[in-house]
Amino acid sequence: MNTPKAPDYVPGHGLLRGRTAVITAAAGAGIGGATARRFLEEGARIVIGDAHARRLKETEQALAAEFGAGRVTSLPCDVTDEDQVGALFAHAEQTHGGLDLVVNNAGLGGTADLVDMTDEQWGKVLDVTLNGTFRCTRAALRSFKASGRRGVVVNNASVVGWRAQRGQAHYAAAKAGVMALTRCAALEAAGFGVRVNAVAPSLAMHPHLVKVTSQELLTELTAREAFGRYAEPWEVANVIVFLASGYSSYMTGETVSVSSQHP
Choose, from 171, 230, 247, 250, the residue flagged as catalytic: 171
Q: How far apart are CA 190 and CA 205, in angstroms?
A: 34
Q: How far apart are CA 26 and CA 223, in angstroms?
A: 28
Look at residues 199, 204, 205, 203 and name the one whose alpha carbon lies nearest to residue 257. 199
Q: How far apart are CA 11 and CA 56, in angstroms?
A: 24
Which residues make beta-bridge pairs with 72?
46
Q: Is 9 a catalytic residue?
A: no
Q: What residues act catalytically?
A: 171
